[in-house]
Structure 1
Amino acid sequence: MSPVVEEIRLSLPHIELAAHIFGPEDGLPVIALHGWLDNANSFARLAPKLTGLRIVALDFAGHGHSDHRPRGAGYALADYAFDVLCVAEQLGWERFALLGHSLGAIVSVVIAGSFPERVTRMGLIDGIVARSGPEGDAAERMGQALQAQLDLEHKRKSVHPTLDRAVEARMKGLVA
């Protein structure tokens, strides 16, 4: 028998996000945050095994079934953290745990560091800290990042002949 999962849409003031909900309504509140280029389904096998928890596995903006941000809007860590805090507000969760993988782990640390009184616990999977480098390279790296953002408008979207090929490409990451 498949675990029961509820798919919902969260209409925030600035964006509409999708999420999967696992566990009983009276379970301890947990917001699960996936990694970069992933989605809420990352937690589909783990979440049902975490009994007694009410897990809201969020699709970050631009991922899964969530909306993309409008042109010119950011996808910085603070933007993701703001979205998560808005989700917690909409759910009526003053305090909650965070379960984060990769990018989700980093966003979890940003939230917990900024609002430690709101985060009851954290579980981090493959959490890394962003690379820092010599300050002399900062302007060049910023220019590269801005150019990459400008190039997104003209980037061809990936099209895969089958679902299996799409999954394989995502599993290989950037080298696919």
Structure 2
Amino acid sequence: MSETLNWQQARHLAGPVAFELNWGTVRGLSWGPATGKPILALHGWLDNAHSFIPMAEAFLQSPLSKSRRLIALDWAGHGCSDHRPPGNYYPFVDYVYDVWQLCELQGWEQIDIIAHSMGAFAANMLAGIDPDRVANLLSIEAFGLLATPSSETAGDIRKGFKSRWLQQQKDRPHYPNLQQAVAARQMAGDFSAEIAALLVDRGIEKLSDEDYRFRADGQLRVSSAIRMTAEQIGDVLAKIKCPFELVIGSEGHERVQEALGLWRSLVPQLQVHTIAGGHHVHMQEPAAIIDLFGQMIDRQNG
């Protein structure tokens, strides 16, 4: 692994950003010139913008930092972004709409995207529904979307409703110190304590000297009541036009291979790369991710 334990330059040069959407404020961090073409960095479920601090360190040392602006967002209900209003259960399509409306509000006619896991699912969908918007897409450990056969629709809705009901009766867990919060995050992941601490640093709030709580909205854990079928997902993927590269961690999720079996033929331009690491390979080998993305840009400009 090529972890940099401090990522001092990325931390020092990170500029806070905030964007007002129709339901609240999405916050994040940015690097590079304010006038640079935006690269949106979209994190995974229950992570936050710090997921891209290691990659930002590599970005700042690359030629990309001269002409591109890297913007790592906190999704709704994650990190420092607002929670959605009460009664909202974070349906997946709303993540896609948040990015789409952000582009409209900012006047970004075309963007590049580097995205991980749930963020990559949203990026896949955006590139399919608005093909001219996305110029280049680098997806990390996610392709397509989680699908459900139409025969399981009733069961999914029932499970989703029960999940909502049970979540209403739960409180977010509390921790007496940061060390226990970091240990809990590391146990739920596939990475080092240093990476867990980086994610916790942005994802935790201090309520008192002996009371810490993760910022993430508890409603994020509610099961989806409705999922798309494989055929519906395929219809979206088939409309992607941009250069599309997929990074798989050598010790990552097996479901990525299952997704490739379902839909790879629908995206003929897709290039697949395997890099040593787990599901959070972009945090473990960030320089390799930036190098791949730089090669995408070079081919486009060449």
What TM-score do the two structures reach when normalised by structure 2?
0.54
Q: What do the CA deviations read for 1:102-124 (whole angstroms, capped 9, x no partner)?
A: 00000000100000100000111
State the shift of 1:70 in Å: 1.3
Q: Given that residues 23 and 85 in structure 2 are in contact (C-alpha distance below 8 angstroms), is that contact kept between their aligned partners in structure 1? A: no
Q: Where does 1:17-28 land on structure 2 (aligned, <5 Å)? A: 17-28=26-37
> Partner amino acid for 1:123?
L
3-state DSSP class of the match of 2:9?
Answer: coil
Q: Say which of 165, 173, 189 aligns to 1:158.
A: 173
Q: What do the CA deviations read for 1:41-81 (whole angstroms, capped 9, x no partner)?
A: 10011023223320111100010011111122241221001
Q: Say which of 135, 143, 151 aligns to 1:136.
A: 151
State the shift of 1:97 in Å: 0.8
Matched, 1:48 2:57: yes
Q: Distance in 2 between matches of 1:148 and 1:30?
A: 35
Change (3 A) 1:153 1:7: same
Root-mean-square deviation (CA, aligned residues, Å) is 1.8
Q: Distance in 2 between matches of 1:78 and 1:69?
A: 14
3-state DSSP class of the match of 2:184?
Answer: helix
Q: What do the CA deviations read for 1:130-172 (whole angstroms, capped 9, x no partner)?
A: 0424x43321121111221222222121112222322232233
Identity across aligned pairs (percent)?
34
Q: What do the CA deviations read for 1:78-97 (whole angstroms, capped 9, x no partner)?
A: 10011111222333211001
Structure 2: give runs of 5+ residues left out of the alignment: 1-7, 190-302
User: Structure 1 residues 96-105 or 13-22, which shifts more?
Assistant: 13-22
Q: Say which of 25, 50, 56 aligns to 1:16.
A: 25
Q: Given that residues 18 and 65 in structure 1 are in contact (C-alpha distance below 8 angstroms), is that contact kept between their aligned partners in structure 2? A: yes
Q: Given that residues 9 and 57 in structure 2 are in contact (C-alpha distance below 8 angstroms), is that contact kept between their aligned partners in structure 1? A: no
Q: Which residue of 2 aligns with 1:2?
A: 9
Q: Which residue of 1 aligns with 2:112?
A: 97
User: Structure 1 residues 159-168 or 99-108, which shifts more?
Assistant: 159-168
Q: Distance in 2 between matches of 1:170 and 1:88?
A: 32
Q: Distance in 2 between matches of 1:149 and 1:55?
A: 35
Change (3 A) 1:89 1:132: same
Structure 1: give runs of 5+ residues left out of the alignment: none
Q: Given that residues 7 and 21 in structure 1 are in contact (C-alpha distance below 8 angstroms), is that contact kept between their aligned partners in structure 2? A: yes
Q: Which has the higher contact order (CA 8 A, sep 6+)?
A: 2
- Following superposition, which runs of at least 4 residues in structure 1 exceed 6 angstroms of deviation? none
Q: Given that residues 22 and 48 in structure 1 are in contact (C-alpha distance below 8 angstroms), is that contact kept between their aligned partners in structure 2? A: no
Q: Distance in 1 between matches of 2:165 and 2:95?
A: 20
Q: Which residue of 1 aligns with 2:194?
A: none
Number of residue-to-residue matches in the alignment: 173
Q: Which residue of 1 aligns with 2:90?
A: 75
Q: Given that residues 23 and 48 in structure 1 are in contact (C-alpha distance below 8 angstroms), is that contact kept between their aligned partners in structure 2? A: no
Mark the structure with the bigger radius of gyration: 2
Q: Which residue of 2 aligns with 1:125?
A: 140
User: Structure 1 residues 6-15 or 36-45, which shifts more?
Assistant: 6-15
Q: Whose helix proportion is higher, 1 or 2? A: 2
> Partner amino acid for 1:130?
L
State the shift of 1:39 in Å: 0.5
Change (3 A) 1:37 1:26: same
